[in-house]
Structure 1
């Protein structure tokens, strides 16, 4: 199962599509796209970005995760390093948030998404 499929499953659930076919149609893609993603393929960056933005996720983390899955050698190591940096930046934001009690109480949902993005970046590059 690819990073794209994991994002697609979240996007489909949040957008409340009744089927993968309806969700793919919304993206302008064939139903086979979802099957391909489930079997390990990844979508183009613009499709990943659209889904991530639609549900308030960090598109950079998802695009890096998808590209790291298919990369080899130096390219893979570079993408993994960038994903780790993205994860560290998200952790810094969370550290600032937690060091100022109640100052960002209204930002909880945003930071939950930010933490999820950090988790995605770290999960896909192996830095847990």
Structure 2
């Protein structure tokens, strides 16, 4: 089964999109849970930005710290196509992470993407594999 988070066009390569994990794979997050996936700009937002922050959290945990971590998509009103993500991580020792960044694509790709997006989507959609 494939998950289509709000804003996903169905062609990540053409529109520079990724189904990004809010709780990253390297932190134990699943790509099989719709609530954990958001549409991200593949090149820069998903990697290296989010991957880099997740790596910092993982390094702190592997270094023995207990880390409280949250990744929150930032939406505009009832529109579920988020405009950014806020990451917060606090470790028991010196680890601290606070970051807020945009997930928007560059304007040319954003205009192309808008032609294919159902902005009224209220939740992630799933597609079943065809036989």
TM range (shorter): under 0.3
TM-score computed with the length of structure 1 as normaliser: 0.26
More strand by share: 2
Compute the TM-score of the two structures, normalised by the length of structure 2: 0.25
More helix by share: 1
Q: Answer 1 or 2: higher relative contact order, Cα 8 Å, separation at least 6.
A: 2
